[in-house]
Amino acid sequence: TTTMMTTRCGVKLFDSAAKFDSATGWPAFWRTHDGRLAYRKERLSGKWEVRCESCGCRLGHVFADGPDRAAGDVVPDSDPGGPASSFELVEAGVHPRFCINGVALEFRERLEGGGAATTR
């Protein structure tokens, strides 16, 4: 499993289990690690900007066109469309698409057998 963290403060934001190919060229995820993101609607574009809740690092955007929801999918309550979300973004049956700038992420891979993580 690979965990994606901010390069600025090291907070865990996403994991490889939620990564998918969005055919955009940007890293894309359908859920956060534990919901530690802040959202702001941009005035000019109307897009929802995503930032790290801890350090304010700008990460990218979230859109309403992620992969279809599957039975058993678990998402943090504060993710868009979740019960504690500050806004409703997604259509029923569809996950959000977090479109993230790869430069803002540090990738840590957990080694099998509980070994130390490697950083890429």
Tens digit of each residue's pLDDT, the chain (120 residues): 688 888 899 899 999 899 999 999 899 999 999 889 999 999 999 899 999 999 999 999 999 888 988 888 888 888 887 767 766 666 677 889 999 998 898 888 865 555 555 555
CA atoms 6, 60, 94, 17: torsion sign: negative
Q: Which regions of the chain does DSSP assign to beta strands (E)?
A: 2-6, 12-15, 19-20, 28-29, 37-41, 48-52, 58-63, 97-100, 105-109, 118-119
Question: Is-catalytic flag, 52?
Answer: no
Is the pTM above the cut of 0.85? no
The domain limits of the chain are 2-112
Out of 9, 52, 57, 99, which one is annotated catalytic? 99
Q: Candidates 3.90.550.10, 2.40.50.700, 2.170.150.20, 1.10.10.10; correct CATH number of 2-112?
A: 2.170.150.20
Task: Give me 29's structure tokens.
Answer: 């995820």
